Amino acid sequence: MDLHKLTIKQAKDALKKKEVTAEQLTKACLNRIQALEPKLNAFVTTLGEEAISEAKKADQKIAEGVDLPLLGIPVAIKDNFCTQDIRTTASSKVLDNFIPPYDATVVVRLKEAGVVILGKTNMDAWAHGSSTETSDYGLTKNPWDINYLPGGSSGGSAASIAADETIGAIGSETAGSIRQPAAWCGVVGLKPTYGRVSRYGVIAMGSSLDCPGPIAKTVEDSAIMLQVLAGKDLFDATTSPKTVEDYTKSLSNNIEGLTIGVSDDYFTGVEDEVKQKVEDVLKEFEKLGVKIKKIKLFDPKYAIAVYTILQRAEVSSNLARYDGIRFGNDRSYFGEEAKRRIMLGTYVLSAGYYDQYYSKAQKVRTVIVEDFNRAFKEVDVIVGPTSPSVALPLGSSKNHPMFGEMADVLVEPSTIAGLPGISIPCGFTKNGLPVGLQVIGPQFSESLILNVAYKYEQATNWHKEKPEL
């Protein structure tokens, strides 16, 4: 049995039946990481002996009959989540030697659920980008073809899952940074409703947009992880007090009679092969008894302008704390992308331009929210391509300051509106690159979008495909 290839569900079952130990699982993943990292560079920091020590503790708990949701499951964590006594860089040399004195709430909940942390994954520096090429620790490569990008900013997490270096992974999304790399790497990426998962201890980029979530091998694994992560957090006032549903139980719900909305605007400028794969998906959904309905949504291009203004403004505020005095290195260590975003953000917030840009963008954001609310009165979920293209060649983001916004154009509107969305694999191009399908739902409809995605996943075999490495 190739232990590193197991899903979370399979690993949980094997551990419960005593067919495998957490130590064996962890060593299998660490060996896989050691073998592939020279080729992929998905990790910034790897925990070797520390991870094995935690796995042994998990095995002891299992022997004592302790039952935790993720006990003994090896996971990788994006390097913008604070991890106590473990280096956390956000892939920027500014934080090259930063050792947090506390854990992010997401990390606390994962630890309480029994995970074994394998290491911290590579990302675009400060999460600025959709390629992982802005990392100060070298770019990550796509496991399906190492001449291509994995997407970003959670490129390391997505690549590590696609390459079976880990059993589960955590990412964060501000405008596509979970779903887009998941699509490009052929894995499952779940972006929850804004406020469903705590942001406490996440190195902030766009505070009104940032959203942690799982990147996994299957929809079921995503549901298992979200069950652990979701819920109110006293350290984050933006988290919702809404009751956390049983996400794994909802996977068995019937989707017959549901109405899926499809907007032509989400197919404009999309590569032909991606369009064809999504159209094939719609036919599959019809076989499952789902009604397909054409709807009209605002052209996603409007979200680019709104996101660019709001996100840059929040970046200029959030990065102001990195002055080299309290922690980290001084500002001379900032990369070019961070500098660009700080300057543009400062500009749109400056006297004389605040009303012209920032205030107007906030008003358009409200209009986008209302547009989705109107659409969800007609349909249950909205389906479309996750990204207008499949993975692009290495170097594609160079000298392209709007690369991220263009790569994320189809996911930005739902992020701006705070909606949940999931990307799942739905096929491959003739060149063997994965195509991603996204399912978007109303706020706090995670159970619904997981159920819809799960039913499609079970009707196909795309999630079982593995890259040759």
Q: Which residues have a catalytic role annotated?
A: 78, 153, 177
- CA–CA separation, 461 vs 469, rounded Å? 20
- In one-letter notation, the amino acid at residue 117 is I
154 touches 123 (CB < 8 A): yes
Measured at the alpha carbon of residue 153, what is the angle toward residues 148 and 157, in degrees to the nearest 5? 80
Q: Please tell me the distance from the alpha carbon of residue 400 to that of residue 91, in angstroms, as a whole number.
A: 20
Q: Which residue has the tokens 């706090």?
A: 444
The CA–CA distances, whole Å, from 346 to 309, 318, 322, 354 equal: 10, 11, 15, 10
* Closest by CA position to 418, among listed 206, 188, 220, 224: 206
Distance CA 168, CA 8 (A): 7
Neighbours of 304 (CB within 10 A): 19
Contacts of 325 (CB under 8 A, 6+ apart): none
Token reading at 142: 């796509």
Q: Are 70 and 224 in contact (CB under 8 A)?
A: yes
